[in-house]
Amino acid sequence: MHVFVAVLNWGLGHATRCIPIINELLQRQAEVTIGSDGAALHLLKQEFPNLRFVELPAHEVIYPAHGSLMLNLIVHLPKLQKTVRQEHQQVQELISKLQITHIISDNRYGCYSEAIPSVIITHQLRLLFSGIWNVAAAVVNSTLRNALKKFNAIWVPDFQESGITEPFTKNIKLPYRFVGMLSRFSKSTTKPDDKLILGLVSGPENQRTLFEQNLLTQLMRLNQPAVIVRGLTQSTDERVQNGVELINHLPASKLETLITNASVIIARSGYSTIMDLFCLGKRNVILIPTPGQTEQEYLGRHLKENKIAVVQNQDQMNIEEAMHLLPASSGFQSNTNANLLKAALDEFLI
């Protein structure tokens, strides 16, 4: 059995949530080859230095500092479609060359095959639109469903009862199953440091840099111990600036320790980040959705309405004010079930 795990490189979330899947495959004595590009590929090489890696075509979209993200994506759509075709052709060649028997694709829509079983990991069975872009919803989501139908199975990284993915999955007539929240982390009994503030910066540029700069400026004013993990797997620029330590990237074990020890977490409301926070059972969380990312904005609203976290828009970001609001939020309740993933793998790898 030889499994090809193909991972999208949009932020690090897709790579990090594939870590428990790869570990489970290795426990089953499967041969594993990993395909990705950029920062995600670099991260996975650090986590699994003894595995075989393949560089896949990059899905390059720059998130604009200003203006419409949706318009920017539409402009890049022909290039993205070309990339999907390229990765599909590359996968067909890899199947023959490496004798691959199964494909697990995290949001890489070209990584499927008619010859062998393939599964896609995604919670986006429906894309969310807002404002004037609602007129495009029917056409775009029809195209998305056709792309998903090329896979033998769809794995949604969530629990059915959580309600988080309901807008993305409700009334979707596709063969999907819930595999639980996928995270490289697990809940710890360690008591957090009463003062440590941890900023987790992630996501595509240019918004990643804008978030980091704003966060650094505000943390320097608080006069409390603070660390920013920058989400840069290939940079060497690490420093302490006015009492704030900037770390480019940490392996999973060290990052888990840092998150566990932090009394306050500041992060994007990305789906993978939210899964990590649920699995760790973290309290005192401040979330800043990426501007223009409809999904992160929805997730932020959901968590704010349910009083799980404090949520602020980036243009109104005020960390000192947000920290005063934290006592009114319940935090993330630890919720994991590895059996859902194991059952899905049992069925897929037959």
In order along its 350 residues, the chain shows pLDDT tens digits of: 999 999 999 878 899 999 999 999 999 999 999 999 998 999 999 999 999 999 999 986 555 555 555 566 666 677 878 999 999 999 999 999 999 999 999 999 999 999 999 999 998 898 777 666 666 677 777 888 999 999 999 999 988 777 788 878 877 889 899 999 899 888 777 778 778 999 999 877 888 999 999 999 999 999 899 999 998 877 777 889 999 999 998 988 899 999 999 999 999 999 999 999 999 999 999 999 998 888 899 999 999 999 999 999 999 999 999 999 999 999 998 876 778 999 999 999 98
Q: What sign does the dihedral 159-164-166-168 (CA atoms) show?
A: negative
Cα–Cα separations (whole angstroms), residue 133 to 129, 145, 158, 289, 294: 6, 18, 27, 19, 11
- Cβ-based neighbours of 291, under 8 Å, separated by 6 or more: 69, 207, 313, 314, 315
Any idea which residue has 């993200």 for tokens?
Answer: 69
Range(s) of the chain covered by CATH 3.40.50.2000: 2-181+337-348, 197-328
Residue 344 corresponds to which tokens in the numbers above? Answer: 């899905």
Please tell me the pTM assigned to this model. Answer: 0.86
Cα–Cα separations (whole angstroms), residue 252 to 57, 129, 225, 231: 25, 33, 22, 12
Domain 2-181+337-348 classification at class level? alpha beta
Provide the 10 A C-beta neighbour count for residue 320. 10
- Cβ-based neighbours of 289, under 8 Å, separated by 6 or more: 268, 269, 296, 297, 299, 300, 311, 313, 314
What is the distance between the alpha carbons of residues 262 and 194, in angstroms, rounded to a whole number? 8
The residue among 247, 230, 268, 204 whose CA lies nearest residue 37 is 204
Residue 322 has φ and ψ, to the nearest 5°, of -60, -40
pLDDT at 98: 98
Residue 75 corresponds to which tokens in the numbers above? Answer: 């402009």
Residue 331 has φ and ψ, to the nearest 5°, of 85, 180
Residue type, 107: N
Cα–Cα separations (whole angstroms), residue 155 to 176, 182, 251, 338: 6, 11, 26, 14
Is residue 282 classed exposed, middle or buried when 0-12, 13-18 and 19+ CB atoms within 10 A define those classes? buried
pLDDT at 66: 55
Residue 105 corresponds to which tokens in the numbers above? Answer: 């694709």
pLDDT digits (tens, 9 = 90+) for 181-230: 899 888 777 778 778 999 999 877 888 999 999 999 999 999 899 999 99
> What does the DSSP assignment read for 220-252?
HHH-S-EEEE---SS----EEETTEEEES---H
pLDDT at 135: 63
Give the 3-state secondary structure of residue 118: strand
Q: What is the DSSP letter of 291?
A: T
- Cβ-based neighbours of 255, under 8 Å, separated by 6 or more: 229
Q: What is the DSSP letter of 21?
A: H
Residue type, 282: K
The residue among 137, 183, 198 whose CA lies nearest residue 17 is 183
Architecture of domain 197-328: 3-Layer(aba) Sandwich (3.40)
Q: Going along 181-327, which residue ranges are E strands? A: 197-200, 226-229, 239-241, 244-247, 264-267, 285-287, 310-311
